[in-house]
Amino acid sequence: MTDILFNFFFFSCLILIQSFFLNSFGFYDILLPWIFYYYSVSEDKVRVFLLCALAGYLKDSLSGGVFGVYISTYLWFFLVLRLSSFFLNLNNRVFITFFGVLGVFINGFFLFVSNYKWFFNPVFLNEVLNLFFIELLCCFFSFFLFFSFFVKIRDFMILIQSLIKSKFAQLSRI
Amino acid sequence: MFSRKKFIKFVVLVFLLVNISALIAAGRGGGKIQGFGSFGLDFFGPVQEALSSGIGYLEKIWQSYFNLVYVSDENLKLKSDLKEFYSKETAYKEVFFENERLRSLLKFSKKIKPEYIAAEVVGRDTAKWFNTIIINRGKDSGVFVNSPVIVPEGVVGQVIKVSKNYSKVLLITDRMSGVDCLIQSSRGRGVVSGTGNDLCIFKYILRKFDVNSGDHVITSGMDKIFPKGLRVGKVVNVKRKDSGIFQDVDIMPFVDFEKLEEVLIIITPPNEKKDD
């Protein structure tokens, strides 16, 4: 239960950070690394699936786009991770970068599908493609260059989570 | 008949096709599916409100410190502006009363004054793909889908989703936005559409209308959403091609969407807005 609450709080904070500070820079969706992190640390994949769906729902309700884009993105990203984890090492720098970029591609795919009218206007198309490439570049560099930083953050998160768990256990004993 | 692998591939493909079809269908309807996202708005709304008021407070402290330097210069400029506006106001009042008298002579129906409520901007879109804001007024305050949102400088956008206490507003700079407008001087009519960045484009304006840089663009009232005569923006660029019946006009909105903090929502339902 603490695991669910912790991750719920964590991704809610990420959504708020994105809506307050990162939306004007065209930064990629920072919930994709969260899904990656949660997938790699959690053993109960059904729980990950459900939390991804909830994160997508909340993100969709705040976004101005078509409802369902983020739910689709996160669930398909989860599915790709699930299928790939059988034969790929998810702790490798190259593969992690590849999955980050793949997540941005999945997000872009669903955005373009739901807003297919953008393709009929050359001005819009040019702008959205530029925006998409900026997201891809941000994602690639942040995943590839800050891999060790991400690993440290992940270890730190695991530590915090275990601390919260132990505190809850102590409280329940009392 | 099917191996397990083939069956999984088949199921995944079916799900993908269903997913894509659902998104295309939702996109065709303008993405305005009501009810689904209202819980999320109510959930994040209070947190966003608390955060934005905290950030706003810190910004105000910072700005008020720096503004002190410019206050005396600004005061002189405002005083001179005020003198000019006093004389303009007198002229406008004369025209207003003359207009009222002529309308009553011609037995035009009386214009209903729209009702406004003020709201604070508590959040913005989570991605740069869309230009929306979240405001702290919802159904309980009388806000409905398509309510026009304005500020004294001009039109901000329209409400696209309403929850109990919060609403999502589509800005006029969004690619999905369209507002029926007029060029104030030449009365040429068209649709102002967003481009996703600071500028908007004025579409479907015929070549026969004389449009120049600096011309003001106002709402026409023909879309039955925005009342007639609201300020939208200023023409910054006009391109007349050799062929075609329309001209390309770029517009700079009067509203600075980056600095938007408070807005006004018109809560008079469309069926109560009487036209001349």
Question: In this predicted model, what pLDDT tens digit does every residue of A56-67 receive, in sequence order?
Answer: 888 888 888 888
Q: Which H or E run contains A39?
A: helix A31-41
Inter-chain touch A16–B48, beta carbons under 8 Å: yes
Q: Is the predicted pLDDT of residue B207 greater than 70, yes or no?
A: yes
What mean pLDDT do residues B216-230 have? Answer: 87
β-sheet bridge partners, residue B239: B248
Name residue B267's amino acid. I
Burial B155-194 (b: 16+ CB within 10 A, else e): bbbbbbbbbebbbbbbbbbbbbbbbbbbbeeeebbbbbbb
What pLDDT is recorded for position B276?
A: 37
> How does residue B35 score in pLDDT terms, banded at 50, 70 and 90?
low
> How does residue B271 score in pLDDT terms, banded at 50, 70 and 90?
low
Surface-to-core class of residue A148, CB atoms within 10 Å of its CB (0-12 exposed, 13-18 middle, 19+ buried): exposed
Q: Shortest Cα distance from A46 to chain B (angstroms)?
A: 17
Taking the C-alpha atoms of residue B248 and residue B271, their distance in angstroms, rounded to an integer, is: 33
Name the residue among B27, B31, B124 with its Cβ closest to that of A19. Answer: B124
* Integer Rg of chain B from CA: 23
* Coil/strand/helix, residue B150: strand
Taking the C-alpha atoms of residue B52 and residue B47, their distance in angstroms, rounded to an integer, is: 9
Name the residue among B27, B40, B161 with its Cβ closest to that of A57. Answer: B40
pLDDT tens column, A32-58 = 888 887 887 777 888 888 888 988 888
| A167 vs B108, more confident | A167
Is the Cβ–Cβ distance between A37 and A54 less than 8 Å?
no
Inter-chain touch A61–B37, beta carbons under 8 Å: yes
Helices (H), B29-158: 38-105
pTM: 0.79
What mean pLDDT do residues A118-128 have? Answer: 79
What pLDDT is recorded for position B104?
A: 80
Number of residues assigned to chain A: 174
Instruction: Give the chain A residue nearest B56 (alpha carbons).
Output: A20
Taking the C-alpha atoms of residue A124 and residue B175, their distance in angstroms, rounded to an integer, is: 8
Q: Is the predicted pLDDT of residue A17 greater than 50, yes or no?
A: yes
Taking the C-alpha atoms of residue B236 and residue B197, their distance in angstroms, rounded to an integer, is: 14
Instruction: Give the chain A residue nearest B170 (alpha carbons).
Output: A64
Sign of the Cα torsion B119, B122, B126, B127 reads positive
Name residue B76's amino acid. L
B40 — contact with chain A (CB < 8 Å)? yes
Taking the C-alpha atoms of residue B133 and residue A22, their distance in angstroms, rounded to an integer, is: 14
* Alpha-carbon dihedral B19, B24, B25, B31, rounded to 10 degrees: 110
Taking the C-alpha atoms of residue A5 and residue B54, their distance in angstroms, rounded to an integer, is: 25
| A137 vs B2, more confident | A137
Inter-chain touch B126–A63, beta carbons under 8 Å: yes
B257 — contact with chain A (CB < 8 Å)? no
Strands B200-206 and B216-219: unpaired
Q: Which H or E run contains B118?
A: strand B116-124
Is the Cβ–Cβ distance between A77 and A103 less than 8 Å?
yes
> How does residue B275 score in pLDDT terms, banded at 50, 70 and 90?
very low
Inter-chain touch A58–B19, beta carbons under 8 Å: no
Is the Cβ–Cβ distance between B203 and B223 less than 8 Å?
no
B12 — contact with chain A (CB < 8 Å)? yes
A166 — contact with chain B (CB < 8 Å)? no
- Candidates A23, A34, A116, A126: best to mutate against B (most CBs of B within 10 A) is A23
A10 — contact with chain B (CB < 8 Å)? no
Helices (H), A42-146: 45-62, 69-84, 93-114, 122-145
What mean pLDDT do residues A86-114 have? Answer: 83
B22 — contact with chain A (CB < 8 Å)? yes
Q: Is the predicted pLDDT of residue B230 greater than 70, yes or no?
A: yes
> How does residue A74 score in pLDDT terms, banded at 50, 70 and 90?
very high
Residue B135 has which token pair?
Answer: 């405001």
- Residue A147 CA, chain-centre distance (Å), reads 15
Is the Cβ–Cβ distance between A101 and A143 less than 8 Å?
yes
Taking the C-alpha atoms of residue A156 and residue A134, their distance in angstroms, rounded to an integer, is: 29
Q: Which H or E run contains B8?
A: helix B4-28
Q: Is the predicted pLDDT of residue A18 greater than 50, yes or no?
A: yes
* Alpha-carbon dihedral A103, A106, A108, A114, rounded to 10 degrees: -150
Q: Which H or E run contains B220?
A: none
DSSP A117: G
Query: Does residue B273 come out as left (phi exceeding 0), alpha (psi in the -120 to 50 range) or beta?
Result: beta
What pLDDT is recorded for position B274?
A: 44
